[in-house]
Amino acid sequence: WSHALELELGVAMPGAATADTMEQLREAVSRACPGAQDKWVLKSAFGFAARERVLGRGPALEGAPAVWCERRVAAGETLIFQPWLERLREYGVTMLIERSGEVQIEGVSDLQTNGAGTGTGYLLGRPPTTQRIAQLTEAARIVGRRLFAEGYTGTAGLDALEHAGGLHPLLEINARYTMGFVALAFERALRPQQPVLRTTEQFLAALA
């Protein structure tokens, strides 16, 4: 769903593809990542928070990543292939989709991830530039309207990635209450005068 929206809006990563056979997956990997050190990720269409995915590098799909893919293809899953983008900054846009269809943007969080792209926490007190906020808000409103058209209302989140080549605005769409809502609530309550890091574990401990 999200990849189809990326294609429609013209913001899909070069080389990104969906595939439901091993032949299609191997072709996508070899075409987009011909170099031995070219990194890539293969994801389940319903994965979230860096779960249900495998990482690899180079033009060959083999070993443990191939086994992971074979099991899911055999179960009838469609997988998403993406070349790896080196992160400069990652954003989490939170929104509320009203029953009327209005999309309320709650805010933009500063998501921190490790080298494998797994979320580790949030940096509070470092707002994006005005231009970046406008870009993220526009993308989130489009996503919110599409989710509403599918019959969804309630909280949702959109992850976006800033990399050397610019902004990838549709990294992941989560039709649920995300940790970004919690991070923004803490940021508003603490009002940090300078950037301060809070880990996911610290948020969970405070909520317990």
Cα 52 to Cα 65: distance, rounded to the nearest angstrom: 11
- Which residues fall within 8 angstroms of residue 171, CB to CB, at 6 or more apart? 90, 159, 160, 161
**What confidence score (pLDDT) does residue 47 get?**
60
pLDDT greater at residue 117 or residue 191: 191
Task: Render pLDDT for 102-116 as a digit per residue (tens, 0 to 9).
Answer: 999 999 999 998 877
Whether 76 shows a pLDDT value over 60: the answer reads yes
**What confidence score (pLDDT) does residue 207 get?**
85
Which residues of the chain are in CATH 3.30.1490.20 domains? 2-83
CATH class of the domain whose range is 87-207: alpha beta
**Sorting pLDDT into bands at 50, 70 and 90, what band is 1?**
confident
Task: Render pLDDT for 175-205 as a digit per residue (tens, 0 to 9).
Answer: 999 999 999 999 999 999 999 999 989 998 9
Which residues of the chain are in CATH 3.30.470.20 domains? 87-207
Cα–Cα–Cα angle for 121, 126, 130, rounded to 5 degrees: 125
CATH class of the domain whose range is 2-83: alpha beta
Q: Which amino acid is present at 125?
A: G
**What confidence score (pLDDT) does residue 137 get?**
97
Task: Render pLDDT for 141-184 as a digit per residue (tens, 0 to 9).
Answer: 999 999 999 999 999 999 999 998 899 999 889 999 999 999 99
What are the distances in angstroms from CA 197 to CA 91, 122, 169? 14, 6, 23
**What confidence score (pLDDT) does residue 48 get?**
57
**What confidence score (pLDDT) does residue 49 get?**
56
**Sorting pLDDT into bands at 50, 70 and 90, what band is 3?**
confident
Task: Render pLDDT for 4-58 as a digit per residue (tens, 0 to 9).
Answer: 899 898 998 899 999 999 999 999 999 999 999 999 999 987 765 557 889 999 9
Mean pLDDT, residues 65-85? 94
